[in-house]
C-alpha cells in the first residue's frame, strides 16, 4: 500500500507514542490514514462538546490543559499525550474542557477507529483504561472536600419560589406568607425581581408605622437587593449573608432578574447537618440517647454528600468513623454522668471496621471494655451498666447489635487487662478455627475512650507474641485464603446462583475482606502496631515484606473496590432502600467491570504470593 508523505509523517509520529507502539504495522497505518489534523492558537479553548461524536485527541505539538466542569485542573497534555478518551471509554457526555497553553497541532481519531484498535489489541485497550483510572484518581485528589460549603445552591432549592406582584397589598402578601409558611416573599414586576418583603419588614414598616393593610407592597419592600445565582456555592451564600448582615437572599436565573428560589440562614444551617464537623459538634451537645438518635439520622445524608463530593473511600471511611467515635464517647460521657466516676481506669475498645477507621453505611457493633487489673468484684456492676448504656445507645442510633455478641455488654469482652491478655495468648498459641475467626476482628482494635496506656500494654504483648509464632501466622493465612475474589477461570464474575441476592456478589466478603486480611497478616508478621489497611500496606513496604509495586497495586484495588461499594450503598440510600454490599455486575459500565476484574486479579495475585510466603510449613 502506497501512502502519501503527509500520512507517512503522521504514521511515523504515532508509532513512537505508547500504546500505538504496541500495534502491528497494518493497524498503525489504518490509524494514520483516518486521522484529521487541527491547529489551535495559544489561549484558545477547544470546544469538544460541539463534536457530534467523541474523538481521541493526540497532541503532536504544543501544550494543553484539561479541566472539569468546575474548572479544576485534571491533566496537562504535551506532545505524545492524549485527551478525549474518557468519553470514548464510558459513553458519557463530554463535560471537560481544554485550553491551549501554546500553539499546537492535534491529531483527531474518530470513535469507530479507536474502538477497532481497542478490540484488536489488548495492550492498547489496557493503556487507555489505566490512563482513565489514573485521571479519576487525580480528579479525586484535587477536589475541595469542604462538603456542605462546596454544595451548589441549586441542590438546596426544594420548592417553587414564593412571589408577589408589586401592586398587591400588604394584607394579601402577609396571608400568602402564612399559607406558604415562609418568612420572606420576592416581589416581581413583569416577572422580574424588583424587591423583597420579610417578616421584619411587615413589623417595622407596617405595624410600627401604623400603615393601612391595603398599602401596596412596593411601598414597604426592600429595593436594593443582594442576589445570587443557582450555581453559586453554599460558601458564597454564607459569605454574602455575613458581609451584608442579612438572612434572606433571592436566587436568580436567566438574565439575573428572574427569581427561581430563596436561600435563608435556616437553609444554610440545615445544609450543615450533613457536614461531619457539624454532626460531631451536635453529638457533643446531646444529654441523652434519644438526642443522639435524632442527630444520627443525618449520617446517611453525610454519606451521600461525601460520595457526591467525590471524596476518596479512605476519606469517607475515616469521616464516618470519626462520627461513630464521637457518638460512642458521648454515650460514655452520659453514662459516667449518671453512674459517677469509674472506680478504676478503663478503656473502650473498637474492633473491626471502626477499629480500622473504614466504616460504611452498613456497620454493626464490635467493641469491648478493657479494665485495670485493680478491678474489684463490687466494681463489676458499674461497668456492666456503662457497657449496656453504650451498646443500647449505639443500637438506637443505627449501629445494630453484633450478631456474634462481640460487645462490651457481653461479660467475656468486658474484662481486666490480664484476662484480655490470656484470651489473645490462647488464640495465638492454640489457633483453632474459632480463634482465627476472632483474630480477624480483635487484631484490628483501637482505643476510643479512656486510659490509652492499658491498650498499649495489651497491644504490645500481642504483637510480640504473634510476630514470633510462625504456626499461628501460617494458619491465619490459610484461613484468610479461603475468601477469594469472585473471579472464574476466564476472569468472569462468579455470582450467587439463588436466594435474595441471586446474580450478585458480596463486594465486602469477596473484595474488601480478602484485601484487609492480607494487610493484617503482613502487619502481624512485622510486629506493626498500625491498624488501617492502607497504612499497613505502606508499612509492609518499609518493613521489606511487600514490594512497592505490589503495595501500590493493592492500594489502587482497595480504593477502587471500596469506592464502588460506597457508591452502591449511596445509591440505595438515595432510593430510600436499606444499604447492602451486594452488587449486580450488569449494573456497571463495561469500563468499571473491566477495572473491577483487574482489581480482583491484583488481590488474587497477592494471595498467591502470601500462600507461598506463610503457608509452606503447613504443606
Sign, Cα dihedral of 597, 600, 606, 607: negative
Rg from Cα positions in the chain: 30
Closest CA to 3 of 40, 35, 51: 35
Question: Which segments within 312-425 are labelled E, that is strand?
Answer: 346-350, 367-371, 414-416
Q: Residues 110, 55: contact at Cβ < 8 Å?
A: yes
Are 150-271 and 469-619 the same fold in CATH?
A: no
Distance CA 260, CA 516 (A): 49
Q: DSSP 3-state assignment of 248?
A: strand
Q: Which three cell numbers stand for residue 188?
A: 416581581
Q: Which three cell numbers stand for residue 346?
A: 478503663
Q: Residues 331, 360: contact at Cβ < 8 Å?
A: no
Closest CA to 81 of 128, 140, 37: 128
pLDDT digits over 219-234, tens only?
Answer: 999 988 889 988 787 7
What's the confidence (pLDDT) of residue 148? 55
Low-confidence ranges of the chain (pLDDT < 70): 1, 50, 90, 92, 132-151, 158, 235, 242-243, 254-256, 269-275, 277, 309-310, 489-490, 617-619
What's the confidence (pLDDT) of residue 243? 66
- Chosen CATH of 5-142 out of 3.40.50.620, 3.30.1440.10, 2.60.120.10, 1.10.287.1770: 2.60.120.10
Distance CA 185, CA 241 (A): 17
Cα of first residue to Cα of last residue in the chain, in angstroms, is 60
Q: Which three cell numbers stand for residue 173?
A: 402578601
How many other CB atoms are there within 10 angstroms of residue 97's CB atom? 16
How many other CB atoms are there within 10 angstroms of residue 552's CB atom? 14
- Cell 504535551 locates to 78
* Buried-exposed string 214-239: b where 16+ CB fall within 10 A, e elsewhere: ebebbebbbeebebbebebbbebbbe
Top CATH class, 275-459: alpha beta
User: CA separation (Å) from 178 to 185, 187, 269, 461?
Assistant: 11, 16, 22, 68
pTM over 0.75: no
pLDDT digits over 472-525, tens only?
Answer: 999 999 999 999 999 886 678 888 888 889 999 999 999 999 999 999 999 999
Kindly give the interhelix angle for 533-542 and 548-574, rounded to the nearest 10 degrees.
180
Taking the domains of the chain in order of start, what are their residue ranges? 5-142, 150-271, 275-459, 469-619
- The CATH architecture to which 150-271 belongs is Roll (3.10)
Distance CA 195, CA 206 (A): 16
Contacts of 481 by beta carbon, 8 Å cutoff, 6+ apart: 607, 610, 611, 615
DSSP H or E stretch at residue 187 = strand 184-189
pLDDT digits over 353-389, tens only?
Answer: 999 999 988 788 999 999 999 999 999 999 999 999 9
Q: Is 449 exposed, middle or buried (0-12, 13-18, 19+ CB in 10 A)?
A: buried
User: CA separation (Å) from 600 to 233, 236, 246, 548, 580?
Assistant: 38, 43, 54, 18, 20
Q: Residues 144, 70: contact at Cβ < 8 Å?
A: no
Please report, to the nearest 10 degrees, the dihedral formed by the alpha carbons of residues 179, 185, 188, 193 taken in order. -150
Q: Which three cell numbers stand for residue 314?
A: 479512605
How many other CB atoms are there within 10 angstroms of residue 122's CB atom? 11
DSSP bridge pairs for 368: 349
Closest CA to 329 of 394, 238, 235: 394
Q: Residues 339, 385: contact at Cβ < 8 Å?
A: yes
DSSP bridge pairs for 414: 369
Top CATH class, 469-619: mainly alpha
What's the confidence (pLDDT) of residue 309? 67
What's the confidence (pLDDT) of residue 141? 42
Closest CA to 584 of 498, 527, 501: 501
pLDDT digits over 409-445, tens only?
Answer: 999 999 999 999 999 999 999 888 888 888 889 999 9
Residue 181 per-residue DSSP state? T
Distance CA 137, CA 560 (A): 9
Amino acid at each position: 500500500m502506497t501512502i502519501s508523505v503527509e500520512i507517512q509523517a503522521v504514521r511515523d509520529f504515532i508509532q513512537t507514542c505508547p500504546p500505538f507502539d504496541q500495534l502491528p504495522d497494518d493497524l498503525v497505518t489504518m490509524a494514520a490514514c483516518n486521522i484529521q489534523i487541527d491547529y489551535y492558537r495559544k489561549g484558545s479553548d477547544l470546544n469538544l462538546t460541539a463534536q457530534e461524536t467523541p474523538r481521541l485527541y493526540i497532541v503532536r505539538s504544543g501544550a494543553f490543559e484539561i479541566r472539569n466542569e468546575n474548572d479544576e485542573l485534571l491533566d496537562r497534555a504535551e506532545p505524545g499525550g492524549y485527551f478525549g478518551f474518557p468519553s470514548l471509554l464510558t459513553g458519557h457526555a463530554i463535560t471537560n474542557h481544554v485550553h491551549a497553553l501554546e500553539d499546537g497541532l492535534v491529531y483527531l481519531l474518530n470513535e469507530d477507529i479507536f474502538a477497532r484498535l481497542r478490540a484488536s489489541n489488548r495492550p492498547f485497550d489496557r493503556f487507555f483504561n489505566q490512563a482513565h483510572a489514573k485521571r479519576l484518581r487525580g480528579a479525586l485528589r484535587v477536589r475541595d472536600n469542604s462538603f456542605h460549603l462546596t454544595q451548589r445552591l441549586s441542590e438546596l432549592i426544594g420548592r417553587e419560589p414564593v412571589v408577589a406582584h408589586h401592586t398587591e397589598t400588604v394584607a394579601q402578601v402577609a396571608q400568602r406568607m402564612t399559607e406558604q409558611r415562609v418568612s420572606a416573599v420576592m416581589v416581581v414586576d413583569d416577572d422580574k425581581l424588583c424587591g423583597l418583603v420579610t417578616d421584619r419588614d411587615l413589623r417595622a414598616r407596617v405595624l410600627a408605622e401604623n400603615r393601612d393593610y391595603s398599602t401596596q407592597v412596593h411601598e414597604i419592600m426592600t429595593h436594593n437587593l443582594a442576589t445570587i445565582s443557582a450555581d453559586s456555592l453554599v460558601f458564597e451564600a454564607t459569605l454574602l449573608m455575613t458581609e451584608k448582615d442579612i438572612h434572606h437572599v433571592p436566587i436568580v436565573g436567566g438574565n439575573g432578574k428572574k427569581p427561581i428560589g430563596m436561600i435563608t440562614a435556616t437553609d444554610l444551617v440545615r445544609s450543615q447537618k450533613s457536614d461531619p464537623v457539624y454532626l460531631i459538634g451536635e453529638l457533643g451537645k446531646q444529654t441523652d440517647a434519644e438526642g443522639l438518635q435524632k442527630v444520627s439520622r443525618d449520617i446517611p445524608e453525610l454519606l451521600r454528600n461525601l460520595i457526591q463530593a467525590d471524596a476518596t473511600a479512605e476519606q469517607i471511611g475515616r469521616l464516618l468513623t470519626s462520627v461513630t467515635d464521637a457518638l460512642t464517647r458521648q454515650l460514655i460521657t452520659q453514662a459516667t454522668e449518671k453512674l459517677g466516676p469509674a472506680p478504676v481506669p478503663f478503656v473502650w475498645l473498637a474492633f473491626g471496621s471502626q477499629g480500622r477507621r473504614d466504616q460504611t453505611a452498613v456497620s454493626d457493633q464490635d467493641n469491648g471494655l478493657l479494665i485495670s487489673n485493680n478491678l474489684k468484684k463490687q466494681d463489676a456492676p458499674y461497668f456492666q451498666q456503662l457497657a449496656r448504656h453504650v451498646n443500647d445507645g449505639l443500637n438506637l442510633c443505627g449501629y445494630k447489635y453484633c450478631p456474634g455478641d462481640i460487645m462490651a455488654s457481653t461479660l467475656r469482652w468486658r474484662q481486666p487487662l490480664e484476662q484480655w491478655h490470656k484470651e489473645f495468648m490462647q488464640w495465638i498459641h492454640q489457633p483453632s478455627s474459632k480463634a482465627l475467626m476472632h483474630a480477624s476482628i480483635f487484631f484490628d482494635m483501637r482505643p476510643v475512650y479512656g486510659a490509652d496506656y492499658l491498650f498499649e500494654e495489651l497491644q504490645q504483648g500481642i504483637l510480640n507474641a504473634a510476630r514470633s509464632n510462625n504456626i499461628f501466622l501460617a494458619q491465619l493465612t490459610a484461613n484468610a485464603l479461603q475468601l477469594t475474589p469472585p473471579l472464574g477461570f476466564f476472569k468472569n464474575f462468579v455470582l450467587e446462583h439463588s436466594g435474595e441476592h441471586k446474580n450478585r456478589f458480596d463486594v465486602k466478603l469477596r473484595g474488601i475482606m480478602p484485601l484487609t486480611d492480607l494487610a493484617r497478616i503482613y502487619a502481624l508478621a512485622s510486629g506493626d502496631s498500625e491498624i488501617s489497611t492502607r497504612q499497613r500496606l505502606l508499612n509492609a513496604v518499609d518493613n521489606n515484606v511487600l514490594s512497592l509495586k505490589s503495595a501500590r497495586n493493592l492500594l489502587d484495588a482497595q480504593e477502587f473496590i471500596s469506592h464502588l461499594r460506597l457508591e452502591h450503598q449511596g445509591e440505595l440510600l438515595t432510593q430510600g432502600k436499606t444499604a447492602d454490599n451486594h452488587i449486580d455486575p450488569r449494573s456497571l459500565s463495561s469500563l468499571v467491570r473491566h477495572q473491577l476484574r483487574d482489581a480482583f486479579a491484583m488481590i488474587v495475585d497477592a494471595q498467591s504470593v502470601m500462600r507461598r510466603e506463610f503457608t509452606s510449613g503447613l504443606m
